[in-house]
Structure 1
């Protein structure tokens, strides 16, 4: 059992090294030799953990996805005073990776997204992550609608897909400098507000 625990811990150390290198020079700059050096293990240790570079990248992507999902789930642990709409806003903010402390993570995430366009294993991992997040968003939107927080009747699944795509897009716009984090936050909050704000009642004229 201890050997298995050590093996899993080493895989996570290697995944962290992959992320550090990807942040510095993109995935094209990630080599097994550089990963071994950054993780302070031998090349043989890396190859015992992962048979190929692609297998290593898939594990690293899953590692990042788990980290983001854990933060989202922590924000979804609602206090009695927190509504489904508020929880959804917190979760969407986490996924958009707009805060300064998540900037490196955002760069690495988008590097993997780009690579997934030409790697089916990476694409499969991403789709699994997005599916789980979409389900969480759909549930929260459904709860908000049931508690009469929605401005108009909504299709929860469609709105969840829209919100997930918006959050991902805002990540890219902030990273390239097209939007500031605050501007991106404003866009996100405005979209969420359009879901929950009730339209003004028309005035009756005599």
Structure 2
């Protein structure tokens, strides 16, 4: 009896191969053929799921966002209850910064997707949607912290969300370029969050 294939699992397996290639050699090397070799499957198997490279990359952008989001959300207490927004935002920053091999590969892949998106409108849409979602969630957390008395009432939550995420983005680039050490990057995020927190 033929083995039943889990199609979602196969797509994720292909996405992981793309991320490894993009993290190691850049996105240009992530051709369907190279991805098939990296994934240890036939080119026909890759083409069964993705008709072309842009279709594959659209899936990988969504997959990458889901992976990072899942790690961030794992920091929310279960069952949900009172928790310090500052601690959660620091954990979120740590998941988004390239502090280990996996997160470095994700960061390199994310930068490569952003560069490629300039010429692929469908990728721009995926990236823009993910960015809007993240900025809105961070702003909501800041508003929650203001209601709970953890953060200053006079803060503009949307602008603070933009500032924090822009800082994380810039620090991520510094870490990839080795301009800054991981502990320096985390200390900068801590410093910024401390300035927002009511003492």
TM-score (norm 1): 0.86
Measured after TM superposition, the shift of residue 184 of structure 1 is 0.8
Q: 1:4 to 1:137 in 2, by over 3 A?
A: farther
Answering whether residue 33 of structure 2 is matched by residue 33 of structure 1, we say yes
State how far apart, in whole Å, the 2-side matches of 1:75 and 1:4 are: 35
Correspondences of 1:57-136 after superposition (within 5 Å): 57-77=57-77, 82-99=83-100, 101-136=102-137
Could you tell which deviates more after superposition, 39-48 or 81-90?
Answer: 81-90
Answer whether contact 1:87 1:140 (CA < 8 A) is retained. Answer: no
Report the structure number with the largest CA radius of gyration. 1
Q: 1:118 to 1:77 in 2, by over 3 A?
A: farther
Secondary structure, in 3 states, of the residue corresponding to 1:193? helix
Correspondences of 1:1-206 after superposition (within 5 Å): 6-77=6-77, 82-99=83-100, 101-151=102-152, 153-198=154-199
Measured after TM superposition, the shift of residue 148 of structure 1 is 1.6
State how far apart, in whole Å, the 1-side matches of 2:76 and 2:143 are: 14
Measured after TM superposition, the shift of residue 193 of structure 1 is 1.0
Answer whether contact 1:92 1:167 (CA < 8 A) is retained. Answer: yes
Answer whether contact 1:99 1:181 (CA < 8 A) is retained. Answer: no
Could you tell which deviates more after superposition, 137-146 or 115-124?
Answer: 115-124
State how far apart, in whole Å, the 1-side matches of 2:18 and 2:88 are: 32
What stretches of structure 2 of length at least 5 have no aligned partner? none
Measured after TM superposition, the shift of residue 139 of structure 1 is 1.4
What stretches of structure 1 of length at least 5 have no aligned partner? 199-206
Answer whether contact 1:32 1:43 (CA < 8 A) is retained. Answer: yes
State how far apart, in whole Å, the 1-side matches of 2:76 and 2:12 are: 25
State how far apart, in whole Å, the 1-side matches of 2:99 and 2:124 are: 23
Aligned residues: 197
Answer whether contact 2:142 2:157 (CA < 8 A) is retained. Answer: yes
Answer whether contact 1:76 1:91 (CA < 8 A) is retained. Answer: no
Instruction: Please report the RMSD computed on the Cα atoms of aligned residues, expressed in angstroms.
Output: 2.3
TM-score (norm 2): 0.89
State how far apart, in whole Å, the 2-side matches of 1:48 and 1:114 are: 26
Measured after TM superposition, the shift of residue 147 of structure 1 is 1.5
Measured after TM superposition, the shift of residue 71 of structure 1 is 0.6
Secondary structure, in 3 states, of the residue corresponding to 2:180? coil
**Structure 1, residues 8-31: CA drift from partner, whole Å, max 9, x if none?**
221111111111111121011111
